[in-house]
């Protein structure tokens, strides 16, 4: 498949720079997965599109303040995104610029009181950095780190982002990007969903930097996903199996929930447990255990746009996105959303 088949025009002014004034007041396009129907609502209307016996699956991963600015070898200004601990005082960092980093380079983050030595390269732009074991890296990040807003939000983070770039149900620390479809939920909306006879379950998938990376090659098949860690609790696996057995629908909140569920799918069942996944769901494949999806609007030529196309077809998605641009929907992390049902 050609990557260019998954391209579309997106004016710069459609990219949301700030969240909607109220989480559940964001706009919600509704798209029939098997038909031509496209409608317009707001997130607060979601219970109208769910049925008694449906299951809503959330990603409860929590974003941590992962970005620090500092110096490289005492000379160059640098910025680092702390991706995850690697054990023995080591952390995997996404460093910018990374081309001047060498084994033995010292990265110093004065404001956080941290200094570490580059040990070995990781993935693209990534380095494993060793800090003293008593450095208290997580505490230092909590005290001095910035909210890791994505690069297409062209402003520095402020205090409001610490609340709004986090779901109200976030629990398990580990993501450097929010599972953005979940940003639209409020406790009041959850009450209405439960009143509608819809069950709610959780998975955890920690979002890594691959979520921002476009497909650069000409062939979709040549793209390699970066691995992300996920966990499926036993009660969630049981809830998915029960829902499907009883004729309900499994509706994922966000592409991260889809990737976790589909990575754990064995036939039409979901296995509990935890693992790393590189799943790249794309046409002509279809999801095996996920029937519906609530998701924000994604970048052109991205793995996430291919994922939603696997749900509803490429042409249907391109049509929906054209309408979204014409109707001035707000795109990406702080933007509006789409319900594929």
Longest CA–CA separation in the chain, Å:
63
Q: What CATH number is given to the structural domain containing 20? A: 3.40.1780.10
Q: Give the mean pLDDT of 183-206.
A: 98
Instruction: Identify whether the C-beta of residue 289 lies closer than 8 Å to the C-beta of residue 265.
Output: yes
β-bridge mates for residue 106, sequence order? 117
Of 144, 172, 200, the last residue of a domain is 144
- Is residue 156 situated within a structural domain? no
The residue with greater pLDDT, 124 or 213, is 124
- Is residue 290 situated within a structural domain? yes
Across the chain, what does the average pLDDT equal? 94
83 closest CA partner among 18, 128, 39, 24: 128
In a shared domain, residues 72 and 182: no
Which run of H or E residues covers position 337? strand 337-340
Both tokens of 332, joined, read: 């990406």
225 closest CA partner among 176, 259, 174, 182: 259
In a shared domain, residues 310 and 244: yes
- Weakest mean pLDDT among 3-7, 51-55, 155-159, 237-241: 3-7
Question: What is the rounded CA–CA span in Å between residue 160 and residue 316?
Answer: 36
In a shared domain, residues 169 and 135: no
In a shared domain, residues 191 and 279: yes
- Is residue 157 situated within a structural domain? no
User: What is the 8-class DSSP label of residue 5?
Assistant: G
Would you say residue 21 has pLDDT above 90? yes
Omega before 284 within 30 of 0, i.e. cis: yes
Q: Give the mean pLDDT of 112-124.
A: 93
User: What is the 8-class DSSP label of residue 21?
Assistant: S
- Is residue 25 situated within a structural domain? yes
- Is residue 226 situated within a structural domain? yes
Instruction: Identify whether the C-beta of residue 51 lies closer than 8 Å to the C-beta of residue 249.
Output: yes
Supply the pLDDT for residue 123.
84
In a shared domain, residues 215 and 116: no
Supply the pLDDT for residue 113.
95
Question: What is the rounded CA–CA span in Å between residue 164 and residue 297?
Answer: 18
Q: What CATH number is given to the structural domain containing 119? A: 2.40.10.240
Q: What percentage of the chain carries pLDDT values higher than 70?
A: 100
In a shared domain, residues 83 and 52: no
- CA of residue 247 relative to chain centroid, distance: 28
Supply the pLDDT for residue 65.
96
In a shared domain, residues 244 and 305: yes
In a shared domain, residues 89 and 221: no
Of 115, 144, 173, the last residue of a domain is 144
- Is residue 191 situated within a structural domain? yes
Q: How many domains does the chain contain in total? A: 2
Supply the pLDDT for residue 91.
96
1: confidence class by pLDDT, cuts 50, 70, 90: confident
Q: Give the mean pLDDT of 132-161.
A: 92
> In 102-232, which ranges are E strands?
106-109, 114-121, 126-130, 172-175, 199-205, 228-232
Supply the pLDDT for residue 87.
84
Distances (CA, A) of 19 to 157, 161, 166, 271: 12, 9, 11, 35
Q: Per residue in 275-315, pLDDT tens?
A: 999 999 999 999 999 999 999 999 998 999 999 999 999 99
In a shared domain, residues 49 and 71: no
Instruction: Identify whether the C-beta of residue 301 lies closer than 8 Å to the C-beta of residue 259.
Output: no
In a shared domain, residues 244 and 320: yes
Q: Give the mean pLDDT of 48-74.
A: 96
In a shared domain, residues 229 and 81: no
- Is residue 154 situated within a structural domain? no
- Is residue 204 situated within a structural domain? yes
Supply the pLDDT for residue 209.
85
Supply the pLDDT for residue 176.
94
* The dihedral sign for the CA sequence 31, 290, 224, 211: positive
What is the crossing angle of helices 314-326 and 303-312, to 10°? Answer: 110
Q: For the chain, how are helix, strand and coil distributed in percent, rounded to 5?
A: 30, 30, 40
Q: Per residue in 36-46, pLDDT tens?
A: 899 999 999 99
In a shared domain, residues 119 and 175: no
134: confidence class by pLDDT, cuts 50, 70, 90: confident
Q: Give the mean pLDDT of 113-130.
A: 94
Of 100, 116, 144, the last residue of a domain is 144
Residue-range definition of the domain harbouring residue 84:
67-144
Report the predicted TM-score, pTM, of the whole model to 2 decimal places: 0.93
Q: Per residue in 216-273, pLDDT tens?
A: 888 888 888 889 999 999 999 999 999 999 999 999 999 999 999 999 999 889 999 9
Both tokens of 27, joined, read: 């706009």
């Amino acid at each position: 498949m050609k990557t260019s088949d998954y391209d579309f025009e997106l004016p710069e002014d459609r990219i949301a720079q700030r969240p909607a004034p109220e989480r559940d007041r964001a706009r919600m396009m509704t798209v029939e997965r098997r038909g031509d129907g496209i409608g317009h609502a707001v997130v607060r209307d979601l219970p109208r599109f769910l049925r008694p016996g449906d299951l809503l699956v959330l990603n409860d991963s929590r974003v941590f303040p992962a970005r620090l600015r500092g110096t490289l070898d005492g000379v160059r200004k640098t910025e680092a995104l702390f991706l995850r601990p690697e054990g023995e005082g080591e952390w995997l960092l996404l460093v910018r610029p990374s081309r001047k980093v060498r084994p033995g380079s010292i990265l110093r983050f004065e404001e956080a009181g941290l200094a570490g030595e580059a040990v070995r390269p990781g993935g693209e732009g990534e380095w494993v950095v060793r800090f003293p074991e008593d450095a208290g890296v997580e505490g230092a990040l909590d005290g001095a780190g910035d909210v890791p807003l994505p690069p297409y939000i062209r402003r520095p983070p402020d205090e409001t982002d610490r609340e709004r770039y986090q779901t109200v149900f976030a629990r398990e620390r580990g993501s450097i990007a929010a599972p953005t479809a979940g940003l639209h939920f409020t406790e009041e909306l959850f009450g209405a969903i439960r009143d509608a006879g819809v069950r709610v379950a959780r998975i955890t998938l920690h979002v890594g930097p691959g979520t921002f990376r476009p497909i650069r090659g000409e062939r979709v098949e040549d793209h390699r996903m970066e691995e992300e860690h996920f966990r499926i609790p036993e009660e969630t696996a049981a809830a998915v199996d029960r829902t499907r057995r009883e004729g309900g629908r499994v509706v994922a909140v966000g592409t991260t929930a889809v990737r976790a569920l589909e990575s754990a799918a064995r036939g039409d069942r979901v296995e509990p447990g935890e693992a790393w996944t590189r799943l790249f769901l794309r046409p002509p494949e279809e999801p095996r255990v996920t029937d519906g999806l609530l998701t924000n609007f994604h970048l052109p030529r991205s793995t996430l746009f291919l994922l939603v196309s696997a749900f509803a077809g490429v042409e249907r998605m391109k049509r929906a996105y054209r309408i979204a641009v014409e109707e001035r929907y707000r795109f990406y992390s702080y933007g509006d959303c789409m319900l594929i049902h």
